[in-house]
Amino acid sequence: MPDKDLEICYNNCIEYSNKIKNPILRDCVLEIYNDYKDRLLKVPATPGRHHYFKGGLLYHLYSVTRNSYTISTLYPNLNIDVDLLIFGSLLHDIGKALEYNSFTTDDNYISVKGNERDLLGHTYKSTHIVDNYLSKYELDDNFKNQVLHIIGSHMRDFGEEGALVKPKMIETIIISYSDNIDNYLEPASKAIDRVTRGEQYEFPKGEIPYYKSLNPYYEERKDK
């Protein structure tokens, strides 16, 4: 992705941040995005899974926020806290920003911090970063727990790279599904591009092959 597009993506994230009404949550996101800007414009999301390119993590955070926000507009009766939704979407994987420190080419990143990624994982790291930043602000303890819960439960299930706790708020359910959709469709778009009509393709780590459409009216985008 060209650098100018990544700058646009970063600015889109700032625009979403500015929709947050709670000034503490808004300031906290803006502060983290400001402090992490250089890294966000460079680091990928997850090797071998999704958004493995320069700025991939930033693009993923933007996509998940866009997905979550759109879902909130489709379900007005849910009474979703849009502040928590935007905050959690923009920061749910922020810990991944610390997983790489060398950016030589678009597809050559070097992992950092020894065993930190293996032993702590990105859910803990993300929650820890947000906790540290929030500690600078006067925030009700129970509300702060809710905010951290959104980050700590975004993976929805336990397991390797899983959630710290199971989701217990509707906002984190929406973030989690938005996250899954984006994690799935980004590598899918590459797999689909690689084959012609009617051919099989597989997503990374996929066990079941998928088929590209044979519909004669199916028109593929030419601008990719």
Q: How far is the CB of 56 from Fe ion (least distance, A)?
A: 11
Number of residues engaging Fe ion in binding (CB under 5 A): 2
Residue corresponding to tokens 């920003």: 97
Q: How far is the CB of 50 from Fe ion (least distance, A)?
A: 8
Decide if residue 179 touches Fe ion (CB under 5 A).
yes
Query: From the CA atom positions of the chain, what is the Rg in Å?
Result: 18
In the complex with Fe ion, the residue whose CB is nearer, 65 or 72, is 65
Closest CA to 49 of 37, 60, 65: 60
The count of other CB atoms within 10 Å of the CB of residue 37 is 16
Decide if residue 99 touches Fe ion (CB under 5 A).
no
In the complex with Fe ion, the residue whose CB is nearer, 93 or 186, is 93
Q: How far is the CB of 64 from Fe ion (least distance, A)?
A: 6
Please give the C-alpha separations between residue 212 and each of 3, 183, 199, 208, 215, in angstroms, as whole numbers.
32, 20, 6, 13, 9
In the complex with Fe ion, the residue whose CB is nearer, 54 or 122, is 122
Tokens for 210?
Answer: 């998928």
Decide if residue 186 touches Fe ion (CB under 5 A).
no
Can you give the binding site for Fe ion, defined by CB under 5 A?
93, 179
